[in-house]
Every structure is written in C-alpha cells, then in structure tokens.
Structure 1
Amino acid sequence: MTNSCPVAADVEPRRSLRFVAPALLGAAVLLAQAPALANDPAAAEALFRVAKGLMEKKNYDEACPKFDASYKLDPAVGTKLNWADCLEKQGRLATAWGAWGEARDQAKREGDAPRAELAARRQKALDPRLPQLTVQVKGSIEGLSVYRDEIKLEPASFGVPLPVDPGKHVVSLRRGKDVLKEASVESKEKGTDEVTLDATDVPPPTPEQIVQAQPTPGQGDKPKYRVATVRRSTGMLVGGILIGITGGFVTIGGLVGLEATRGAPVAWGVTTLGALMFGGGIAMGVIGNQKIKRQLEVTYVPEVFVGPSSVMVRGVF
C-alpha cells in the first residue's frame, strides 16, 4: 500500500528487522490485537491512486471518501495522513483535526516518529481555526436523547465547547425517533456558538410511546434468539499465540544451533519443529480470532406499565 503523503518529504521506508525474535513475538502480539477487518491491498492501492489524482485537481469532495475507503481496506498510516490533509483542504476542520490525531497515534504505535511529528504539528496548527459549539440543556432528560446533527451527545458533554466543522448544525431533543425540540446554528471558522434546549416543559411519554420503546417479545412463550457476531474461540486464539511464541523461541534456538554445529541434523530438526509450531500456532490463532455469527438467547421478564387509564403487563410467562 502506498504510504506517501503530499504534505511532507517522503519518509524513508522502514528497513526489514535484523533480528528474528522481535519479528516472531511481534507477529504473535499483533495477531491477538488485530480486529477482523476487511483487507484488500490491491483495491486499497487503486483507490489511493485515484484519490491522489483527484487531490491534484483539487476535487476534494470526491477524493476524501476514496482515501477513507482505501484506509478501511488497508489501514496504512500514509493513507490516513492523506485523508486528513484532504479533509482540511475540503474545509471539514474538526473532522480533519480528529483524523490528524488518529494518524499521530497510529504512527507512534508503529514507531514512525517523522509522521507522528507531522500529524501532531498539523493538528496543533488547526487548534485556533476550529469552530466550537456548546450545547446546554435545561431540566431532566431522563428517557430523552440529545443529538447534534446525527451524533448522540452524552450528558457529560453538555456545557463543554466541542469542535465542529464549519457549516449548519442542528441540535435536537428526541424521544426515540420523535424530535421534540430543535435549534440550528451556523458555525464559522474560529467561531464560538452556544445552543440551549429547554426540557423542563416536555410532556411525559404516553403509554403508547412507553410500549414502543420496549423490546418486543415473540408471540410464543419460548425465549427468542438474536444473531450476534462473536469470536470463534478465545481458547484457540490464546493457545495459538502461546504455541506460536514457543515455536518462535524453538526456531531461534535451532538457528543458533545450526550456526554453532554447522548444520547438524539435530539442529535442523529443532529448527523445523519450531517453524512448524510457529506456523501452526499462528494459523490456530487466526482461526480462533475469526468472527462468526451465532445465535444468542434473549430472555424477557414481565414488566408492568401504569398509564392514566390502563395497566399493561408485558413479557414472557
């Protein structure tokens, strides 16, 4: 995957590791941490090249989504840097600010100090330009939700100036899908805005709204099931990592023995055994870490709802 960045001098590609042990251990650790993401380097490279061409034409509206799509297929830090640069040129300052921070953190994890410093410098340069929007809420929001555009805000964020992209933003008070109140504001670069929603006069939910907000059990009296994506086997994942690490050390010992004994058959056998253990452990870990769909039981307990003129009991009995 191409890791070039248009905003800095080309960074020298990382040299291959000289020692076998760090590589083996690193592979095992990465196996445990790596999520089950789609990986298609060829498609990612094609999208990256198209995005670079669009950037040169200053067509940022089309280039930015392609950088994003390329990164999702092959999460290279260079792609993240280009995406952040594209977002900034597109005028989406807060989104770019966040992307620079993500690129900085990824570069640090990968030991790429030049790119980490570049991303940190670009993020800091955006600080004085960021629009900030503060959302205040009066009264209790129990049973309600507050959204900024389509982002749900946690109560801890109320009263805190948060960075936003320049442009129109709508802050709404919702009960489920129903919008009870809303207010809009036009944020500008370097601007500071505040929106206050008053929840003190919001009427309580009707019995129908309470019922709609509850999960719907099945028609029968048996527990229902839902399909969830889970790890195939944590035991296989952990076992594979341990076997892989052990195999790595055995392989190292065999290589040392080969050099000391000048190719003795025993040393060859140890090296082969270690390589098989390492490869088998990695394969076992990959299989265990795969995401599969599995049915999980969902149980319901009886609940009583008291309305102005009725009492309702819901659940599985």
Structure 2
Amino acid sequence: MTTSCPAAAEPSRRRPLRFIAPVLLGAAISIAQAPALASDPAAAEALFQVAKGLMEKKNYAEACPKFEASYKLDPAIGTKLNLADCLEKQGQLAKAWVAWGEARDQAKREGDKPREDLATRRQKEVDPRVPRLSVQVKGSVEGLVVYRDEVKLEPVTFGVPLPVDPGKHVVTLRRGKDVLKEESVESKEKGKDEVTLDATDVPPPTPEQIAEANAQAQMGRPDKPKPRPTTVRRSTGMLVGGIILGVVGGFVTIGGLVGAGAGGDGVAWGVTGFGALMLGGGITMGVIGNQRVKRQPEVTYTPQVFLGPGSVMVRGQF
C-alpha cells in the first residue's frame, strides 16, 4: 500500500516560483539600478591573513600596506585595529595615532563598545610618544608656499605643534617649483621640535615667475560655465511608470502561477498571461524611458505687447 505525502510534493510544486520571483522582480528593479560600489570581501580576507602572518614574523613594513589594502576592499573594524597596531609597531606613531582614533570612531558607530574602549586606550597610550613639529615663518609668505616633506602647510598651522612620525623631515619654502629655503630636522619619539624659515630676504618674483603664476591661476579659474550634457533621459515618467508596471505585472504573474499550480482553472492561467504582458510592457517602457536622446535646443520667446483700439494683447511663452 502506497501513501502520498503532500509535504513531500509541496517543494516540487513551488520550485519554479523560487526562481521566477527573483527574476521577475530583479528584471524590473535593474532598469534604474545604479552600479554598486566595488568591494571584494574574499580578497580582503586573503590579504588580512597574509598580513597577520607577516605580523607574526615582525615584518611590519610589508604587513601594514596589506592591512590597508584589505581595509579598502572591506572596511572591517578588526582590520582597522590591526592596521593601527601594525603602524605603531613599525614606528609610524603619528599614523598609528590617527588610525586608533579612526578605529575608535568606527567602533562607536557600529555599537562595538569593547573595541571602542580598546582603540581609545591604545590611542591615549601612543599619544605622548608621538613627536610634534612646529614650523615658524618670518616675514610675508604672499606668493610663497611652505611644505613639510610633501605636505603643504597652510599659514594657520604655523607655530602649531603638529604630530609627525619619527625620522627626518624637510621643511621648504617654495615659489612654484623653485625651492627658496630649506631646513631639516630629525624627529625622535616624544620629541618637540621647531623649524623657522626666514622669508624676509626672499627676492621678489621675476617677471617670468609672475607670468607663470598668473598662467597657473588662470588655468584653475572657471572662466566659462561647464557645458551642459548633450544627451538626456528620454522620459523619467515613462521610466518610473515602467518600473511600477513591471513590478505589479511580476506579482500578478506570480499570483497566477500560484493559482495554476494549486489546481486552478483557466482563469488562473489567464491571470498569469495578463501579468506576463504587464511585466513585458513595464520592462519595455522602462528601457525606452531610460534611453539617452539628444538634448533639444532651448527656445526662448520674448513677450510682445500689441495695443489696439480698446484692447491690449500680450503674446509670448510664460
């Protein structure tokens, strides 16, 4: 004697719907869907594991860039914490100080209190070890630029002890590409250094330097408005209407298939066919509406006033 099992037959009946529903809904949504941001969690995990192995060998110079690359592919808080630890052990104390602060803020946003506390404690521990370097400038810096290594310093930072990594730092006074003054200092852990550049005896710019500076300023000045795009979407209304029609048609089709699969009569198949037509029409409308077409030139009309016996007529576009 053989008995039937409805529960066993149920999956077989609904299997097509598991594939049809996502396809129908995805087809409608994909019409206007923007490209997603690039991320690669698998590659991020592989880089993370390699970096951890390098950390165990105390090869921080190779481990830190791999932690950083892993974080760019998948910004996980654990990766940021390991990057900060790696930078600190490598001796890049200023970078580590910043990374611990970023890890603290990220953990706070994610509600991860233990990691927030860890990053806060580690940043406080590394803070007194970070060297500080202040740059002073005598005289006017008009037309001149001050750099610390390859970092441009704004005048508001002059005299402020700024965190730097231990090692040699070169402070330069430049006009364009020309280096007019240069001072170097060897910053050490916990050190507080100051560099002073004297700009009082800097000769005035030559006519060629003035012309070059003016040319560079002119290149960065937006004299002309940016050209308007030459193409536009054919019809936003048609695009939105097509998406709505496609989504509704997809659900109508699914409902019809459910009814037909449950042993419904011809009406269920009719509903299915109607829903399929709605879905196809919606997709077609969305594709047509999203097409790029040439922008039509704008035509302006100047209002004209005509005076007549006992009447005034105004003609134009409003």
* TM-score, normalising length: structure 2: 0.57
Match of 1:129 in 2: 129
Task: Tell me the number of residue pairs that the alignment of Structure 1 and Structure 2 aligns.
Answer: 196
* Counterpart in the other structure of 1:96: 96
Cα distance in 2, alignment partners of residues 99 and 37 from structure 1: 23
Rounded Cα–Cα distance in structure 2 between residues aligned with 1:211 and 1:100: 46
Q: Which residue of 1 aligns with 2:191?
A: 191
Structure 2 letter corresponding to 1:82: N
Q: How far, CA to CA, are the matches of 1:40 and 1:144 in structure 2?
A: 44
In 2: Cα distance, 1:205 partner to 1:72 partner: 44
Structure 1: distance between partners of 2:211 and 2:74: 44
Residue aligning to 2:84: 84
Structure 1 residues 174-197: Cα deviation after superposition (integer angstroms, max 9, x where no partner):
112211111000011111111000
| Alpha carbons 1:143, 1:175 under 8 Å: kept | yes
Quote the offset at 1:103 in angstroms: 0.8
* Equivalent position of 1:276 in the other structure: none
After superposition, residues 273-312 of structure 1 pair within 5 angstroms as none
Give me the whole-angstrom Cα distance separating, in 1, the residues matched to 2:144 and 2:217.
20
Kept after mapping to 2: 8 A contact 1:170/1:185: yes
Structure 2: gaps (5+ residues): 1-35, 241-318
1:301 corresponding residue in structure 2: none
The answer (yes or no) to whether the contact 1:94–1:130 under 8 Å persists in 2 is yes
| Kept in 2: contact 1:48–1:79 (CA 8 A) | yes
**Structure 1 segments of 4+ aligned residues over 3 angstroms from their partners:** 215-218, 222-226
Give 1:67 shift. Answer: 0.5
Aligned equivalent of 2:161: 161
CA contact (8 A) 1:38 1:72 kept: no
Task: Give the aligned residue type for 1:70.
Answer: S
Aligned counterpart, 1:66: 66
Q: Distance in 1 between matches of 2:224 and 2:151?
A: 33
**CA distance 1:205–1:101, shift in 2 (3 Å):** same
User: CA–CA distance in 1 between the matches of 2:186 and 2:180?
Assistant: 21
Q: Distance in 1 between matches of 2:98 and 2:217?
A: 38
* Matched residue SS, 2:98: helix
Kindly, what percent of the aligned residue pairs are identical?
78
Structure 2 vs 1, CA of residues 215 and 90 (structure 1 numbering), >3 Å: closer, same or farther?
Answer: same
Unaligned runs of 5+ in 1: 1-35, 227-231, 241-317
Q: Quote the offset at 1:37 in angstroms.
A: 5.3
Matched residue SS, 2:52: helix
Higher mean Cα deviation, 86-95 or 37-46?
37-46
Say what the alpha-carbon RMSD is for the aligned residues: 3.1
Aligned pairs for 1:1-317 within 5 A? 38-213=38-213, 214-215=215-216
Q: Structure 1 37/101 Cα, relative in aligned 2: closer, same or farther at 3 Å?
A: farther
Bigger radius of gyration among the two: 2
